[in-house]
Amino acid sequence: MRLALLFGALLSLGCNNGVIPTANIGGTWAADFAIPGASLVLTIDQVDSSLTGSGTYAIEAGRAGTLQVVGTYARPTVTMSLQYDYGLRATFTGTVNGSRQMSGTLADTLGHSSSLTLMRQ
């Protein structure tokens, strides 16, 4: 009996370890930039595999503003198009690494590309 209870407790802990990609990525996500003054915060709504949302950004010693998000999520792959308020469009393509983190590449229409990690807030 004790062995069965111990196994059940360990199994329940294993299912909630945050390593398995979550089924729903709706919520607030933020980039952790090492550059002071830079930020990217996304608020995502998910219905089935479709993503929509909005966000804010700030560029170090530059502009700040809003953006719109449209994308898809097929666990563990996420693809989001970010439309910035000044016309720039960027695409985030990545992997959800548990319930609190996604990482991938952000590429814009100007040819810039960089690694990006977003953390659930």
Contacts of 12 (CB under 8 A, 6+ apart): none
pLDDT in tens, 56-114: 999 998 999 999 999 999 999 999 999 999 999 999 999 999 999 999 999 999 999 99
- Rounded mean pLDDT, 35-51: 96
**Does 3 score more than 50 pLDDT?**
no
Number of domains in the chain: 1
Q: Which pTM does this prediction carry?
A: 0.82
- Burial of residue 100 (number of CB atoms within 10 Å: 0-12, 13-18, 19+): middle
Q: What is the pLDDT of residue 94?
A: 98
The CB-based long-range contact list for 47-50 (8 Å cut-off, 24+ gap) reads 49/73, 49/74
Is the pLDDT score of 37 beyond 60? yes
If you search the block for the tokens 């319930």, which residue do you land on?
99
Residue 36 sits in a domain whose CATH number is: 2.40.128.120
CB 27 within 8 A of CB 43: yes
Whole-number Å distance between alpha carbons of 110 and 93: 16
- Predicted confidence at residue 13, as pLDDT, reads 42
The domain containing residue 25 runs over which residues? 2-120
